[in-house]
Amino acid sequence: GPCAVLVHGFYVEGSKTWEANVRGLARSGIRLIAVDLKGFGHSVRDTSPTYTLHSQAIVLAKLLNQLHVGGATIVAHGWGSSVALQLANEQPQFVGQLALIAPVVYGRQVPVWQPVARVPYLGSGAAWCIDSGGPLWGMIRRHEFYDKSAVTSAYLSDVRRPTHIVGTIKALLAMASSPKDSDLPEGMANVKVPTLILLGSKDPWVSEEEASRLKSDLGDAKLVIIREAGHYPHIEESLQVGRYLAEFCIEATR
């Protein structure tokens, strides 16, 4: 069947974000590959500042090459959309089409605590508090959901688990120190594949104007607004988003 590669956003739980979607997509006959990019989920915690869009796109390309996957549907969330676009720009042989959910593309997504990342103790404390399971991390996660009831203590405990991996804080600090090496958004002019953009109508980070700009910049793109959903429409409206993704993946084989 058609192959879909699931690429997470800038969130420590990595590929775990797709748990609400994999069963339905698999039942549709789609082959799924869920990726933990470097520094996220259960992947290696590199402490050198090599966490750039270019390096993450290389990691993704190496994986797909090892699995002999080409022309796949790359499904990406948030910042992962920039990784997917970087891959499509640099190594288009791996990308048949793109499905971008709540895409963060314009402007580099960096931690809000980046200015203090190099300050001893303060940087580590801020990274833990905001992006690695600390008290503000839970508050921010709730803010990103339109349906606050979906952010249960069980959900937070589940997605917090990868934060306990040794080296997570140091990896986050390395991410904050990594240079910019991407040619996005200019490089999107080279991306010539069908694209589906899914955006929650209540997304606190990505506006409909930004999504419409992305649709225009990519040319061959379709924008769908998911009502009553925030930054995680694939979790809040998993059945609806699953239908859109399944139809999009299957269309590629017709």
Confidence band of 111 (pLDDT split at 50, 70, 90): confident
Give me the pLDDT at residue 220, please.
85
- The tally of CA atoms less than 13 A away on the side-chain side of residue 237 is 23
Give me the pLDDT at residue 15, please.
97
Give me the pLDDT at residue 253, please.
78
Mean pLDDT across 10-27: 95
Q: Tens digits of per-residue pLDDT, 24-64?
A: 999 999 999 999 999 999 999 999 988 999 999 999 999 99
Report yes or no: 183 and 33 within 8 Å, Cβ to Cβ. no
Confidence band of 11 (pLDDT split at 50, 70, 90): very high
Tell me the pTM. Answer: 0.95
How far is residue 92's CA from residue 192's CA, in Å, rounded to a whole number? 9
Residue 84 has pLDDT above 80, yes or no: yes
- CA-based R_g, the chain, Å: 17
Phi, psi (degrees; rounded to nearest 5) at 62: -65, -40
Give me the pLDDT at residue 108, please.
62
How far is residue 104's CA from residue 94's CA, in Å, rounded to a whole number? 21
Q: 149-157: which pairs have CB atoms within 8 A and are 24 or more residues apart?
A: 150/232, 150/235, 150/236
Report yes or no: 215 and 225 within 8 Å, Cβ to Cβ. no
Give me the pLDDT at residue 110, please.
72
Give me the pLDDT at residue 201, please.
97
Report yes or no: 249 and 30 within 8 Å, Cβ to Cβ. yes
Q: Residue 70 to residues 9, 123, 205: CA-CA distances in angstroms?
A: 22, 40, 32
Phi, psi (degrees; rounded to nearest 5) at 8: -75, 175
Bridge partners, residue 31, by sequence: 3
Residue 80 has pLDDT above 90, yes or no: yes
Give me the pLDDT at residue 216, please.
95
The share of the chain scoring above pLDDT 70, in percent, equals: 99
